[in-house]
Chains A and B, each alone.
Chain A
Amino acid sequence: MSTQQARTSPPATVPVRIAMPYQLRTLAKVTGEVVVTVSPPVTLAATLDALESAHAPLVGTVRDRETGARRPMIRIYAAGEDFSDASAETELPEPVVTGREPLRLVGSIAGG
Chain B
Amino acid sequence: MGGIRVLVGTAKGGFVLSSDHDRTSWEVSEPLFGGWEVYHVNGSAADPDRLYASQSNGWFGQVIQRSDDGGANWEPVGNEFSYDGEPGTHLFYDGSSMPWRFTRVWNLTPSADDPDTVYAGVEDAALFRTTDGGRSWSELPGLRGHETASSWAPGAGGLCLHTVLPHPDDPSQLLAAISAAGVLATDDGGATWQLANQGLRSEFLPEPDVEVGHCVHKLARHPARPDVVYMQKHWDVMRSDDGGRSWHEISGNLPSDFGFTIDVHAHDPDTVYVVPITSDEKHFPPDGRLRVFRSRTGGDQWEPLTDGLPQSNCYVNVLRDAMAVDSLDPCGIYFGTTGGQVYVSSDEGDHWRPIVHDLPRVLSVEVQTLP
Q: Are A60 and B79 in contact (CB-based, < 8 A)? A: yes
Q: Enumerate chain B residues within 8 angstroms of A23, measured Cβ to Cβ.
A: 35-36, 57, 59-60
Contact B59 A27 (CB under 8 A): no
Determine if A59 and B59 form an interchain contact, defined as CB atoms under 8 angstroms apart.
no
Question: How near does chain B come to A16, taking the closest CB pair, in angstroms?
Answer: 20
Which of B33, B34, B61, B82 touches A61 (beta carbons < 8 Å)?
Answer: B61
Q: Does B143 contact A (CB under 8 A)?
A: no
Main secondary structure, interface of B, reads loop
Q: Tally of A-B residue pairs with Cβ under 8 A?
A: 46
CB of B82 within 8 A of CB of A66, answer: yes
Q: Is B27 part of the binding interface, using a Cβ–Cβ cutoff of 8 Å?
A: no
**Interface residue from A26, A71, A108, A110 paired with B61 (Cβ < 8 Å):** A71
Closest approach, in angstroms, between the C-beta of A70 and any C-beta of chain B?
Answer: 11
Question: Is A54 an interface position by the 8 A CB rule?
Answer: no
Task: A23-B59, A27-B63, A61-B79 are known; give 10 further A-B pairs, CB within 8 A.
Answer: A24-B60, A27-B76, A56-B76, A57-B63, A60-B62, A61-B61, A65-B80, A65-B82, A66-B82, A107-B60
Contact A26 B79 (CB under 8 A): no
Total B residues in contact with A, Cβ cutoff 8 Å:
15
**Interface residue count on the A side (C-beta < 8 Å):** 22
The answer to whether A61 and B60 have CB atoms under 8 Å apart is yes
Contacts of A71 in B (CB 8 A): 59-61
Kindly list chain B residues whose C-beta atoms are within 8 Å of the C-beta of A24: 60
Say yes or no: A60 contacts B80, CB within 8 Å.
yes
Which residues in B have their C-beta under 8 angstroms from that of A74?
59-60
**Is B58 an interface residue, CB under 8 A from the partner?**
yes
Name the distance in Å between B52's Cβ and chain A's nearest Cβ: 15
B52-71 interface (Cβ within 8 A of A): 57-63
CB distance from A74 to the nearest CB of B (A): 7
